[in-house]
Structure 1
Amino acid sequence: MMYETDLAAARQTRRVWTCSCGADNPPTYDCCHDCQRPSWTCACCGTVNAAVWSHCQECDNTIPGEALGDREEGFEMTWEEFVAQQVGPRRVGGRYDHGYADSEYEVTAIDRGPRESWPSWQITVRGADGQVREHCTGWDSRRDRIVAQAPADVTVVSVGRLHDGDQDQGEWADVLQRATIALDLRAHFRDPHVRADLRQLTAQDQVVRDTVMDTPGVREVLAATALQVQGYLAGPTAAPLTVVTQCAGGRHRAATTAMALRAVVAGDVEQATAYGLADAAREFIARCLTVDLVHRDLDKDVVAR
């Protein structure tokens, strides 16, 4: 039904929710019809609530932190963050199940919007009966499950070459043989391992990321690698790409540059800005690529050398 019809029915039952912009919305709308401000769904009763509310207006239950965050965090959520939360782990080509009989479906398209008409974002699925449906139902981690995940468009893997002989590498043991692009950072960029104050730290620590990214030439190499990714994506074969970053131990240079590349290729300008690569990330915004980040050796012990 159209927005006006939905809204009229909601007003009759006094179930509208009012956005901070002043517009009224039917309870099933997860974004304001007028300004597209996100709303959130109560995990207990399923009622849609405006972002400024931390309690459900229907059943008075608190919206769980994992679904909303605290009041300020939820209210300041960006459009991209909101849609990512709604889409969840679903990818085009993957198969999922929403917990009901004969409910397995394949995702054929995801339109992240914001769209000019309702719904503000949209997912297209093909059910087990072959019927194609379009909707904007958010992912529910308590009920929905992955049946067969589609591969990411790009997978960025960091490795430490001193761990090549380890027995616990699993599917990433031969990643260099499968790599589309492989960056070897060992010879050209100074190893933070040589600094005693950084040796026990990893790329999870800001000082390590700053040290690696401030090394002359690193940003240029990563920007050039992003151009390589664009080149491969422009080819006639839509095969997934694997980009491997390599250093000695896998805890500093490889992990940091892998994090930076993931932000760039995912079009995450905010994260890429922290690595000084905002311009490179802007080139990927419209692509809406799925990008996986894997650290093969980040959490392993420091190698004595």
Structure 2
Amino acid sequence: MTYESDLAAAKRVRRVWGCPCGTDSPSSYAACHGCGRPSWACERCGCVQSDAWSQCQHCENGIPDELRGDREEDFEMTWEEFVSLQVGPRRVGGRYDHGYTGSEYEVLALDRGPRASWPSWRITVRGSDGQVREHCTGWDARQDRVVAQPPADVTIVSVGRLHDEVEGEWADVLQRATIALDLRRHFRDPHALSVDLRQLTARDQVVRDTVMDTPGVREVLAATALQVQGYLAGPTTAPLTVVTQCAGGRHRAATTAMALRAVVTGDVEQAAAYGLAEAAKPFADRALVVDLVHRDLDKDVVDR
């Protein structure tokens, strides 16, 4: 199939969307064929939205938060955020399935772009028939599934110690941690600092600013980044687990975990937002696979 044949098929069933750049794309395309502008599809009517609204512009169905990024109306998603949504949990060396017979494949390479030519980002896979293909099909959580996932180079987990009785995959993460940061006693708790912050989380800018402006936090995180470098330089290759801890898991632990992820992925621009650009630079060319897990971020506020 080519773009032209895809477009012709979409036009026959009147499922085409027009990008502001003037290019028409089939409704199955997650980004404009011409300029790479991302789009969002309505789950009810299938109409693709050329902008990130909270409701479908055609049937007024609500667009899921995971597609909107849970942002305010008219937000603009960064390129990295868009590609992360499209790539989903896929990583090089992993095996995945589209959900129908014979559709299992292995990921050989991921080019996150943006690229000068179509596709604006690209994934290279080997299918169950042995054929190698390149495409930019987005991950669809409704039908795609993980068959075998290679471990991340570094997994960063934020936890709230008031939830230590939690069950599940990350219940014993402190026993498995390579590096564990305890932020409870040395750094102020936004929960106690302000009633206004109590119901907010690290997803709110004011919380991140409050945590990162605490004297000593940036220095601790920069030192932790050096620890990660040291472990990665060791003679034995093994995945690392870094755990950040606070009381409820909604403010300090989650914010510092986000900051560490920006640093260890080598995202200098994002790390700069946390005041850690210099700490991120040694990781910029390493292309590490980094998982971020918030064990307790979405749990209810604990009265204390």
Tell me the TM-score normalised to structure 1 length.
Answer: 0.71
The residue number in structure 1 matching 2:21 is 21
Hey, what's the Cα distance between the residues in 1 that align with 2:75 and 2:166?
42
Cα distance per residue 1:229-260 (max 9 Å; x no partner): 34544567553221122456756544442233
The residue number in structure 2 matching 1:295 is 295
1:37 aligns with 2:34: no
1:226 is matched by which residue type in structure 2?
A
Q: 1:33 to 1:288 in 2, by over 3 A?
A: farther
Secondary structure of the 2:31 match is coil
Listed as ranges, the gaps of 5+ residues in structure 2 are none
Secondary structure of the 2:143 match is coil
The residue number in structure 2 matching 1:65 is 63
Q: 1:62 to 1:289 in 2, by over 3 A?
A: farther
Q: Map 1:8-157 onto structure 2 (within 5 A).
A: 17-25=17-25, 29-41=29-41, 43=43, 50-51=50-51, 65-66=63-64, 69=68, 73=73, 76-157=76-157
Name the stretch that deviates more: 131-140 or 277-286: 277-286
CA contact (8 A) 1:209 1:256 kept: yes
Hey, what's the Cα distance between the residues in 1 that align with 2:224 and 2:46?
44
Q: CA RMSD in A?
A: 4.5
Hey, what's the Cα distance between the residues in 2 that align with 1:300 and 1:62?
31
Hey, what's the Cα distance between the residues in 2 that align with 1:126 and 1:170?
33
Secondary structure of the 1:156 match is strand
Secondary structure of the 2:109 match is strand
1:228 aligns with 2:221: no
Name the stretch that deviates more: 43-52 or 219-228: 43-52
Name the stretch that deviates more: 45-54 or 211-220: 45-54
CA contact (8 A) 1:185 1:245 kept: yes
1:154 is matched by which residue type in structure 2?
V
1:126 deviates by 2.7
Q: 1:6 to 1:152 in 2, by over 3 A?
A: same
Hey, what's the Cα distance between the residues in 2 that align with 1:26 and 1:192?
49
CA contact (8 A) 1:107 1:124 kept: yes
Hey, what's the Cα distance between the residues in 2 that align with 1:71 and 1:178?
34
The residue number in structure 1 matching 2:276 is 277
CA contact (8 A) 2:56 2:63 kept: no
Listed as ranges, the gaps of 5+ residues in structure 1 are none
Give the number of equivalent residue pairs.
Answer: 296
2:176 is matched by which residue type in structure 1?
R
Hey, what's the Cα distance between the residues in 2 that align with 1:12 and 1:296?
46
Task: Give the % identical residues.
Answer: 67
The residue number in structure 1 matching 2:238 is 239
CA contact (8 A) 1:6 1:26 kept: no
Hey, what's the Cα distance between the residues in 1 that align with 2:18 and 2:213?
48
Q: 1:234 to 1:109 in 2, by over 3 A?
A: farther
CA contact (8 A) 1:169 1:296 kept: no
Name the stretch that deviates more: 206-215 or 80-89: 206-215
CA contact (8 A) 2:198 2:301 kept: no
Aligned match of 1:182 in 180, 183, 188? 180
Q: 1:123 to 1:297 in 2, by over 3 A?
A: closer
2:158 is matched by which residue type in structure 1?
S
CA contact (8 A) 2:199 2:301 kept: no
2:189 is matched by which residue type in structure 1?
P
Secondary structure of the 1:81 match is helix
Cα distance per residue 1:40-77 (max 9 Å; x no partner): 44546767664489868xxx656751275499856722
Hey, what's the Cα distance between the residues in 1 that align with 2:51 and 2:212?
37
